[in-house]
Amino acid sequence: MITQYKNRWLLLNQSSHCILCGLQPADDRQICQACLVDLPWIGNTCQRCAEPMHHASGSFICPQCQQKPPPYEQAIAPFEYRFPIDQLVQLAKFNGQTHYLRPLAELLSLRLQTEPRPELIIPVPLHRKRLQERQYNQAAIVAKHLARRLNIPFSNKLLLKTENTQHQADLNRKARRKNLRNSFQCVSAPPTSVAIVDDVMTTGTTAAEISRVLKQAGCQQVYIWIIARTAKELHLS
């Protein structure tokens, strides 16, 4: 399926057609109205961690956040991490197809229009070795687009990834927490409120660790802005 999307982009790169169906005209978001409606939009979510809650209605906080509230104020995601969003994110993240990030970032910016404005937007940082391998940080690309669209300052220097940790996708929830512990460093005093931007949130371990580090450094409010959130049944145990 990834190859299918890659080949389709090569055909449509110079056109104004939808990057998903390849048939209908698209606006600046590069996705036609029909495909836009069919995207895996999140409906009801936990108001704290953005966990999709298919059997809940209205304002709801999931049992896990009630029992142990995360160190950030709120996570916001427009989509569930499933087809075709998962394919687009993987193409952008691992195959160098970063052009897919612009329409995804644009849709995230629309979701954020009525949300509180933090003083600064930062991406989840990559360790320098990982950045050298990939040549770009997909979270930084999304964060820069959001900063421009929302007129909020951007920085990729406030936070560093000091340890080249194992890929989180290879680990269960407990191992993820241990893997990331003390792997981030806040190198200067943060502002009062910060938004952390990433592509996908699964267990929330990365968001929680970065939020902890920022708050230890003096930040008072941390928001998590992500393109997609995995459903609970897809989380690693």
**Count of domains observed in the chain:** 2
Both 25 and 87 in one domain: the answer is no
- Predicted confidence at residue 29, as pLDDT, reads 79
**22 plus 109 within the same structural domain:** no
Q: How far apart are CA 139 and CA 158, in angstroms?
A: 14
The answer on 86 and 1 residing in a single domain is no
| CB atoms near residue 173 (< 10 Å) | 13
Domain of residue 117 covers: 40-234
Are 8 and 114 found together in one domain?
no
Which pLDDT score, from 0 to 100, does residue 12 have?
Answer: 40
Residues 157 and 169: their CA atoms lie apart, in Å, by 25
Same domain membership, residue 160 and residue 68:
yes
My answer on whether 106 and 166 are in the same domain is: yes
How would you write the pLDDT of the chain (237 residues) with one tens digit per residue? 444 444 443 444 445 889 899 888 887 778 999 999 999 999 888 999 999 887 656 568 999 999 999 999 999 999 999 999 999 999 999 999 999 999 999 999 999 999 999 999 999 999 999 999 999 999 999 999 999 999 999 999 999 999 877 565 555 555 665 667 778 999 999 999 999 999 999 989 999 999 999 999 999 999 999 999 998 755 543
Q: What is the pLDDT of residue 181?
A: 73
Same domain, 61 and 129: yes
Same domain for 50 and 26? no
> Which residues on adjacent β-strands are paired with residue 185?
160
**Same-domain status, 24 and 51:** no
CATH code of the domain covering residue 199:
3.40.50
- pTM for the whole structure: 0.86
